Structure 1
Amino acid sequence: MPNFCKVLVISIPRTGTNHLFYTLRNIEKLNVRFELFNKEEAYSISKEEVGLLAERHKTCWQNNRDHQFINWSAENPATLLEFLAEKVAINFDHLIFKLFPNQLSMNQIEAMFRNTSNLRIIFIHRRPIDSFISMMKSIQTRKYHNHDTSDLRVDLCSRYFMEWWSSNYNWYRMVENLADRFSLPQTTLSYEADINVAEEELLQKVIEATRTIGLDLSRSAAGRYEGLEKQDKEARYDRKVQNWSTFEAELRTEHFYDRAFGSF
């Protein structure tokens, strides 16, 4: 399977990646995984796949929530990816998965970059303030999709936002530097321009973007699966945030306002 590529989406929570991945199921030859390295559950790895890996490595893992398996995956990311590629290559041309901050250490990411064949990277960015508000609403409701939060107003802490922004900014820069160091093909998608659009347009934008990193997905768009509905449809920040005036003033005082509305 010399041309089989593993496509890694690098992003942070609340950037539309679930909607993107659900929509990408319409590309027949793309094997869509989700958070393979989530610390609570290795999403989209089946019990059968865990069993096959356990047999191969002469151990006994129960399922994708087995923390011994999760820890092994984090220590051996390339081995996991090569196994999945080997298993699905008969039916698919490529595999896509995503990674968020703190799911793997930088040393583990470096090992994945060094040892995974045919790795491609897509960075996804969203306006920071929108990701932050969406995150706060999801924390308050404990609902991460299929729940309308338009009427919910949250209180924001400017100090927490600035710390959150700095941490995520550093995450993107460190991964970008590693990708450059290993000369990995990479491209970028924007939530505003590429993901928060009609699903057919989203697919076309992904097809165009991935063409720049050597993938041809255009021959297999199927159009059977729907993405997710946007949770927060409110556009005005003073209707999303209870203390918006105070929060905005504090960001301006700290010369942080432009960063909130810029990009990571």
Structure 2
Amino acid sequence: MSAMIAFLGTKRTGSSQVMQAMAAHSRVMAYGEIFNPKPVLTSERQEGLTAFLRERLGPGGGDTRPLSDLRRSDPAATLSAIRAFTEARGRQVTVFKCFEGQMDTVPLVDALAAQGARCVFLLRRPIDCYISLMKARQADSWGGVDTTSMKVRLGARHYAAWHRKVRGYHEDLRDALVARGLDWCTMRYEDAFAGDDPSAALTALAARWGIDLGTAEVAAQGIRQDRARSPARKVENWASFRLGLLLRGKGGLVSRDFLA
């Protein structure tokens, strides 16, 4: 039987480069954000996938809703469909990612359990994740744009609320996975991207479950949108932002992970 790996978490954790690196392996089909509410996913541009999903999720063409609605209305059927497409293409490992807010926890976990999926929480130092999110919004671009020279202004109260919300999502989803007996682990952005190509880290990750990704036919060449390393170089009001957190007793949130 083929395998399925789900990458879970929040945006700006290096997930796009993870998908690129996974897709470069000979046994893998990578689908990106399969539950993204946007009408068209990049993965659906693969030859035949759109028609395959519509036939599986809306048999006979009777359901004329947008494919994005079909994908999200029955997550169990969607995961079954992409697995079938993977196998039809002669691949053995189905990979996708799902972010906070894209699918309710209970139906998502039910669908993952039905497929026996292996689950990976992608983690990144929270302040770096947040700054990247703010830069992406300011640039109105989620990839392919150099934001190194860009600086953003941050609010301590907004950051603390964001951290609380995202941490709560991670903890609730983890607890639901545990309750269903699903195997899960974490993968840190800082570890996976210590070099230019995360393929080695991904191969080792899959091997823990006895999953063979095959050979990496092309090295992933992900583009770092932001080459600045220090938050102080990315945030216009870094000193006052840090002070605001400290005055609220939230100074530790800069580095406190979403999962302990």
Q: Distance in 2 between matches of 1:21 and 1:203?
A: 10
Residue correspondence of structure 1 range 99-178 to structure 2 within 5 A: 99-114=98-113, 116-178=114-176
- Name which of 34, 38, 41 aligns with 1:40: 38
- Name which of 219, 229, 239 aligns with 2:233: 239
Detail structure 1 runs of 4+ shifted over 4 Å in the superposition. none
SS at match of 1:33: strand
Are the structure 2 counterparts of residues 22 and 52 from structure 1 closer, same or farther at C-alpha, using a change threshold of 3 Å?
Answer: closer
Structure 1 residues 43-99: Cα deviation after superposition (integer angstroms, max 9, x where no partner)? 21248433344345233567xxxx643223222111111122112214111110000
Aligned alpha-carbon RMSD (Å): 1.9
The answer (yes or no) to whether the contact 1:6–1:81 under 8 Å persists in 2 is no
Structure 1 residues 158-191: Cα deviation after superposition (integer angstroms, max 9, x where no partner)? 1111111011101111111111111112221100
Q: How many residue pairs align between the two structures? A: 253
1:208 maps to what in 2?
A: 204
The answer (yes or no) to whether the contact 1:6–1:120 under 8 Å persists in 2 is yes
Q: Distance in 2 between matches of 1:182 and 1:21?
A: 26
Q: Distance in 1 between matches of 2:202 and 2:53?
A: 31
- Name which of 180, 195, 198 aligns with 1:197: 195
One-letter amino acid of the counterpart of residue 235, structure 1: R
Larger mean CA deviation between 49-58 and 77-86 belongs to: 49-58
TM-score (norm 1): 0.89
Offset, 1:196: 4.3
Are the structure 2 counterparts of residues 245 and 105 from structure 1 closer, same or farther at C-alpha, using a change threshold of 3 Å?
Answer: same
The answer (yes or no) to whether the contact 1:41–1:70 under 8 Å persists in 2 is yes
1:251 maps to what in 2?
A: 245
Larger mean CA deviation between 225-234 and 26-35 belongs to: 225-234
The answer (yes or no) to whether the contact 1:129–1:260 under 8 Å persists in 2 is yes
Task: In structure 1, list runs of 5 or more residues that go unmatched.
Answer: none
Offset, 1:252: 1.0
Q: Distance in 2 between matches of 1:23 and 1:262?
A: 27
Q: Distance in 2 between matches of 1:19 and 1:102?
A: 21
Q: Distance in 2 between matches of 1:256 and 1:147?
A: 32
Are the structure 2 counterparts of residues 40 and 249 from structure 1 closer, same or farther at C-alpha, using a change threshold of 3 Å?
Answer: same
Larger mean CA deviation between 157-166 and 41-50 belongs to: 41-50
1:96 aligns with 2:95: yes
Percent identity between matched residues is 21
Are the structure 2 counterparts of residues 81 and 12 from structure 1 closer, same or farther at C-alpha, using a change threshold of 3 Å?
Answer: same
Larger mean CA deviation between 158-167 and 51-60 belongs to: 51-60
Structure 1 residues 115-148: Cα deviation after superposition (integer angstroms, max 9, x where no partner)? x323111111000000000111110011222211
One-letter amino acid of the counterpart of residue 49, structure 1: L
Larger mean CA deviation between 69-78 and 181-190 belongs to: 69-78
